[in-house]
């Protein structure tokens, strides 16, 4: 169903949304979507940095007697 929308369908949907909610409401909604995307990207970046930090702090806890067996 969604594969057959095309450009005219998307334009029609955009016009209907604009008429229903008004320019100000749509503008503020898009601003909130932008803030959400930015917060998501920031969270991903912080989590990646935390994982790299944890990997750098990881140490070998294999007992000395076991290291010789390898």
37 found inside a domain: yes
Could you give the percent of the chain with pLDDT greater than 90? 30
Number of domains into which the chain is organized:
1
**Residue 37 and residue 43: Cα distance in Å, rounded?**
10
40 found inside a domain: yes
Range of the domain at 37: 23-57
50 found inside a domain: yes
Q: Is 26 exposed, middle or buried (0-12, 13-18, 19+ CB in 10 A)?
A: middle
| Highest-pLDDT range among 4-8, 12-16, 52-56 | 12-16
27 found inside a domain: yes
Per the model's pLDDT, the better-predicted residue between 43 and 69 turns out to be 43
34 found inside a domain: yes
8 found inside a domain: no
pTM reported for the whole predicted model:
0.54
């Amino acid at each position: 169903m969604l594969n057959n929308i095309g450009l005219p369908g998307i334009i029609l949907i955009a016009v209907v949304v604009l008429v229903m909610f008004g320019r100000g409401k749509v503008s503020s909604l898009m601003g909130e979507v932008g803030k959400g995307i930015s917060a998501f990207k920031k969270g991903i970046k912080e989590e990646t940095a935390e994982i790299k930090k944890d990997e750098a702090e990881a140490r070998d806890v294999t007992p000395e007697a076991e290291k010789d067996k390898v």
